[in-house]
Structure formats: C-alpha cells, structure tokens
Chain A
C-alpha cells in the first residue's frame, strides 16, 4: 500500500519511490501532491491526520526551542532520555572500585592463583553425548580461539569421573557444551581445582563461516581480553572466570581481542582483530565465532548437580519480575 500513484504533474519529473522515510514512516511525496488528491476516504483521512500530527510536533519543537533560547542561561538542562540502563534498579552488591573487602576477597578466592600468575590456564572442551555437526564445529572453533585448549569427545562418560582425571592431568578449566536439537544451547564452565561452576544458556551462535565480512582465521597468538560492564559482585566473579580462561600475557603482535560484554544480563562474546589507524581511530574486524550467554546458576564447588552448593540460581519468578533489575 506504499505504492505511489503516478498522476500527471505539471513538471515532468518522474516521482521516484520514497528515498527517505520519515520517522512516522510516511513516504515522501513530490511537492505538488497534496493530501486532498487521494481518492480513498480512509486513506486520505489517515494521511491528513498524520500531516497534522507532524505539523503539531514541529510547532511544539519550535516553541520549546524558542523558550530555551529566551531563557538563555537559566534554561533548565536538557532532559536526558530514559533508557533501561539509566533506570536500572540500584543493586546493592555493586562493586565499588575502592572497596577493600572486595579486593580482599578477590585476593583469596579460587582465581587468586591465576591472577598471581602461579598457574597457566589449560582448558578442556567437551560436549554432551552424541554431538551433531554444528556443535562439533563450534567446539573446534572455540578451541582455536582459546589458547592451550583441547577438545575431547565424551562417549557416555560421567562428568564426575572426568573431573578427577582432568585435575590429575593439570587442566584448569572444563567447558561442557550442551546440545539440544542439533544446536548448542548450554555451557557449563567449571574451574577445576574445586573452583566455581557456572552454567550458562547459550543463544545465537554464529560460526565462522556464517559471519559477514570476516577475516582470515585467528592465529595462535594469545588474544587480549575485554570485560565490559560487570558491575556487581556476581558480575565480578563471572568476569574473573572468563579472564582466567586466557593466558596472562596477551601477544600484542597478534592484534586479537576477545570481548565479553555484559548488557542487561546477557553476555555477548565477540572475537576481533584490530588495527590502529592513528591515535584516534581503530578498525576492528570480526573473526571467530560469536555467541551470547545468560547465566543460569553459579555453584561453589565443581560440577555436582545433586549435592552442590549453589551460590546463585536464576529463579524466574523472583528475579524476572522487574524489567529494570539486573544481576550481573
């Protein structure tokens, strides 16, 4: 119904399809076309109303601008548009950068060994039983991204039996990718010498060949890590979990960066290669797979679904009631 009638205009300009669409998504008509020329009454009425609205809006804007200028310096500051991030319910566990208690906790928790550079990460990636092609490829791509990682296929082995073997062989991390209907949909990240276990829901997985305008394959250089927006205590611990996946010293020669960006409790993972064009501009090109994670539960010890002690569990009826409340 957006087609424009070609009527005869005094000047022979061909009226093209709307080039720019207004915010009210009205097609732009050539200037000689007035609303009253539409034969259909309903549509004419509609367009007329829209026109009136536009005019009213513009006049209101103008009036407001004039008032602002008239007031000059005494004008009240421009109201900031409300976003969900602005309106977020203040979480009392938000970490203050100078908080000593937090600093102390982080100095003595399970990751302190890593952050004090005592251990190097060694990651074991596995899946649930009988993984399908997509999951397998996802595992392989993850293995190329995370340095010093190994993919092993699980053929019916119980996790509880795998974990002591992993610890014996010096692994620091265990990643289990759960699959449902041929698509990866869950991730269990377990820090091994009895560290916390995090269970995530995985969504929107894009493998490397589905990415648009991607570059060549990632090299073996250690990437840098960017962790954005992990503000609360819980967010902090999850952030440290992610950071401990990668070795300490990133090789800047490789110019690769892995980003974990938390927005409204969704953690977006991206893997890029960057290049500094000058001081003010950097270009990034996405390589590597991308996926989104949502934390479902955090357990204190290693993976133990029956007797584990849960530090945090996502309870839908309690935690999803407010749209402005986030936990990470």
Chain B
C-alpha cells in the first residue's frame, strides 16, 4: 500500500535515499521525475502517490502524470501527454490535464515548462551563431613536438644560416652599390697579404714580450664578434669623427699593428654609414716628429 508519510519519514529524514544529494545548505533530488529538483516533502516523486512533471525529449515537451490507482503497476505508472509547441496552448493543456490537482503541482509544472521552453529557444539561437571548436590536445604529442622543436632549433643554426645568406646576397650584388667593399680579386689578394703580415707581426710581438707578463685582456677582445656588433649598430654616424681623435699612451707594441690596420682601412675607403666603427682595443694614434736639420738659410746676394 502507498503510505506516503511513512515513505517520506524513512527516505526523507531518517534513512537512505539513493536519489538524495546532500550539500551544505540544501538537499537535492536526482530523480528524473522530480519537478523542482529539491528533496522536499511535496516534491519527492517517491513520497507522493499523485504526482506530475514536465520533461523534454529532443526538443519536445511532455507532461508526465502519476496517480495512486496505478501505483501497483510500475510499467504503466507514468502517463505521458505530448504538449503543444505553442506556449499558451501548452499551458492550457497542462491546466486541463491537471484540473483538480493540488495547486502546488500545477504551479510547479507550469514553471518548469516555462523554463524548458526558454532554454530550448536559447539552444536554437546558439546553434545559429558560430561556435568555438574545442580541440583536445594530447599531452604526449605536445611533449613530443616540443622536444622535436628544440632539436630542430639546434640543428637549424639560425644565426649562421642568416649570415651566410646575407653574405651570399652581398656577393651576388643584390645590394648594388651601397656597400663599398671592393670585390676585386686584386684587393682580396691585398687583403690576404695584409692579414698575413699583420698576424706575423702580432706573433712576433707576442713572442718577445708576453713571456711571463700578466696581461689583463678586456672583455671586448674576447667577444668581439658578439658585443661589438651591438655597440656598432647604435652608433654609426658619429664614428668617423671619434676615430680621428688622438690619444697619448706609451705602448710601443701597438705601433706596427696600428699602422697596418690604419692603412688597411684607408685603402678600403669609408662607406658613409657602415664600415668598422669603433676599435675595441686601446689604440694609439702616434704622431711622428721628425727632426730635420735646419736648412741653412741661403743668403743670397
């Protein structure tokens, strides 16, 4: 027999109900026929033998009703009525079917039906708009690709490749006459020769005087290729003026080197904006005074 109060006493308050979800402030009911979703005495489908709900299936709303006469036949317990797609008509249908039913259930059915139609409308509107496609990433694949990218970066040797390409373009003459580097074979040979003699003189100088001497080498000398690039970039125009200024230092070692590089630079001809800008080594501009014997003043008559 259906003793609603007894059932409620047991499942609602004292003992276990498998549909009940307890949270800090409220109890919810997970039963699919529940009309409000809360676990309360008047909304529990198990503890009310006369009960009604509105549910939707694939966009179509139905009214489900349960009466005590069919409580013994679980297969036929719920009566399903299809509601019209027209909102007002459906409300009338609900009223008509639930005539003489308790006010609470009638009201809640209509409320639920309203909510359902509202969310159905929203679904239809959203499907028309564009939607973000969410693509799942596989963590393994991501890790693999990241590693491969790192390896590829190392293998690429980007700086070298770019430099090579730029030099090739220079050789092929895509830059035209902007840069004044003479590409003539003779000048190249001259360069090579000068480089050789320069290195020779350096070696000689070093052999003689570097034995046992402590020399503090500035950072610039060691990382010329890196650092000098950046300093050069920013200061280009004022460079030519600075180079002409002379400094007095007593280091005879630098003499020969200086001469060589000075002549080298002059032979190349200065490009207006480019050209080696600032020497990193401490360098000496040496002015030579030559004493000449005073020419005897010719006193002529």
Contacts and interface: CB of A to CB of B under 8 A. Distances in A.
Interface stretch (B54-62, B153-161, B213-221): B153-161
Contacts of B230: 213, 215, 285
Contact of A261 (B161, B167, B176, B226): B161
Contacts of A257: 162, 166
Contacts of B163: 282, 284
B234 interface: yes
A280 B167 contact: yes
Contact of A272 (B133, B149, B152, B162): B162
Interface in B180-201: 181, 183, 188
Nearest to B155: A263
B158 A270 contact: yes
B131 to A, nearest CB: 11
Interface in B233-279: 233-234, 268, 274, 276
A277 B276 contact: yes
Contacts of B175: 252
B9 interface: no
B170 A276 contact: yes
A310 interface: no
A259 B130 contact: no
Interface in B139-173: 141, 145-146, 148-149, 151-153, 155-156, 158-159, 161-163, 165-167, 169-170
Given A266-B152, A276-B179, A276-B181, A294 B145 contact: yes
Given A213-B230, A215-B230, A278 B148 contact: no
B262 to A, nearest CB: 15
A130 B175 CA distance: 44
B236 to A, nearest CB: 8
A263 B133 CA distance: 30
A203 B225 contact: no
Nearest to B149: A266
A181 B145 CA distance: 19
Contacts of B234: 215-216
B36 interface: no
Nearest to A290: B158
Interface string A35-76: 000000000000000000000000000000000000000000
Interface size class of A (residues with CB under 8 A): 35 or more
B178 interface: yes
A95 to B, nearest CB: 18
A115 B183 CA distance: 31
Contact of A273 (B156, B170, B178, B233): B233
Contact of A263 (B152, B162, B166, B228): B152
B232 interface: yes
A228 B233 contact: no
A261 B181 contact: no
B181 A283 contact: no
A316 interface: yes
- The residue among A226, A264, A268, A279 with the most chain B CB atoms within 10 A of its own CB is A279
A103 interface: no
B158 A215 contact: no
Contacts of B176: 252
Interface in A279-293: 279-285, 292
A228 B179 CA distance: 24
A253 B236 CA distance: 13
Interface in A152-172: 158-159
A215 B233 contact: yes
Contact of A292 (B149, B159, B188, B274): B149
A85 interface: yes
Contacts of A224: 169
A204 B230 CA distance: 24
Interface of B: 130, 132-133, 141, 145-146, 148-149, 151-153, 155-156, 158-159, 161-163, 165-167, 169-170, 175-176, 178-179, 181, 183, 188, 225-226, 228-230, 232-234, 268, 274, 276
9 contacts: A158-B130, A264-B148, A266-B153, A274-B162, A275-B232, A278-B181, A279-B183, A284-B229, A285-B233
List the 5 closest pairs (A to B, CB-CB), nearest first: A283-B229, A263-B156, A264-B152, A263-B152, A279-B181
Interface of A: 83-85, 128-129, 158-159, 203-204, 213, 215-216, 224, 226, 228, 252-253, 257, 259, 261, 263-266, 268, 270, 272-285, 292, 294, 305, 316
